[in-house]
Amino acid sequence: MIKAADISEQTLPRHIVVVMDGNGRWANKRLLPRAAGHKAGVNATRSIVENCASHKIEALTIFAFSSENWNRPQAEVKSLMSLFVSTITAEVKKLHKKNVCVKFIGDKTRFSDKLQNSINTSELLTENNTGLQLNIAANYGGRWDIMQASRKLYCDLQKTNADIDSIDEDALDKYLSLSHLAAPDLFIRTGGEQRISNFLIWQLAYTELYFVDTLWPDFSDDDFSEALQWYAGRQRRFGKTGQQIAEQGA
Ligand code: IPE
Ligand code: IPE
Ligand code: MG
């Protein structure tokens, strides 16, 4: 197999987003509690962060907990929350040493004070880092994102008495999560489902979508290389014709 290292820099994505799905099924297959699947998933998360950092990918955004995941059994939600606290506490110093800048996106207000504290501490510690931008989507939903952006835009427009015609796509985009980053180039979803599940619905407009059956805890370095290789073979047209793109590249 061609290793990611062999893929030329021009064909590497700048921004990768990942729906890390399949932890529960991974555990079920082993007759383990679902929480064990989530714990095993942390190892795969650590690996993809390291891989992105070593390939000098600019940004990685991972879906850790959706706004809809509160609807899971209370015991599972509770175990996920304590896994978040312990993982952030255990990993943040290592991430800092690797020059990773950590940010959380989503509505943090529903989290316990303890979790909000560890989120704030990790963001503060790493805020000036210039390496990989790691965004962790927690209590995140794409619809929530568009809604919170609209509210902020509305407030600012009222303050300045601005005209309705000043609302264009860029105006709203400024208030959305991740507006400071390039739009995602590559979306990876493990676990076999082919859906977005209310992830970055606005930001994914022109992202290349890659779905793989592998369950998240089994997602290996080779699986990551395969995703990069698949991405390298895409022709991104953004509405133009294939010929126009080929001529631009020539
Ligand atoms: C993804 O794995 C992790 C979270 C949603 C927190 P799942 O828990 O959804 O795993 P499956 O889809 O049930 O296998
Ligand atoms: C999406 O996975 C959310 C995360 C990976 C955190 P889900 O497993 O919750 O998605 P659905 O409900 O199957 O669409
Ligand atoms: Mg799932």
In this prediction, residues 147-158 reach a mean pLDDT of 96
Point out the ligand 1 atom lying closest to the alpha carbon of residue 80. 6
Residue 161 lies in a domain: no
On the question of pLDDT at 90 being above 70, the answer is yes
What is residue 5's predicted lDDT score, i.e. its pLDDT? 54
On the question of pLDDT at 3 being above 70, the answer is no
Q: How far apart are CA 115 and CA 111, in angstroms?
A: 6
Residue 41 lies in a domain: yes
Residue 159 lies in a domain: no
Active site residue 69: yes
| Higher pLDDT pick, 38 / 4 | 38
Residue 148 lies in a domain: no
The parent domain of residue 66 ranges over 9-141+184-236
In this prediction, residues 76-80 reach a mean pLDDT of 98
Task: From the candidates 28, 69, 129, 198, give the one annotated as an active-site residue.
Answer: 69
pLDDT in tens, 158-185: 999 988 898 999 999 999 999 999 999 9
Please name which of 172, 119, 169, 177 lies closest in space to residue 145, comparing C-alpha atoms: 177
pLDDT in tens, 188-236: 999 999 999 999 999 999 999 999 999 999 999 999 999 999 999 999 9
Q: How far apart are CA 221 and CA 210, in angstroms?
A: 16
Domain count, the chain: 1
Q: How far is the CA of 247 from the centre of ligand 2 (A)?
A: 40
22: three-class secondary structure by DSSP: coil
On the question of pLDDT at 4 being above 70, the answer is no
Q: How far apart are CA 73 and CA 76, in angstroms?
A: 5
Residue 177 lies in a domain: no
Residue 249 lies in a domain: no
Residue 245 lies in a domain: no
In this prediction, residues 103-109 reach a mean pLDDT of 98
Q: How far apart are CA 6 and CA 4, in angstroms?
A: 5
pTM (2 decimals)? Answer: 0.96
Residue 85 lies in a domain: yes
User: Which amino acid makes up residue 35?
Assistant: A
Domain with residue 104: its CATH number is: 3.40.1180.10
Among 20, 21, 187, 196, say which to mutate for ligand 2: greatest number of ligand atoms within 8 Å of CB. Answer: 21
Task: From the candidates 21, 139, 145, 185, give the one annotated as an active-site residue.
Answer: 21
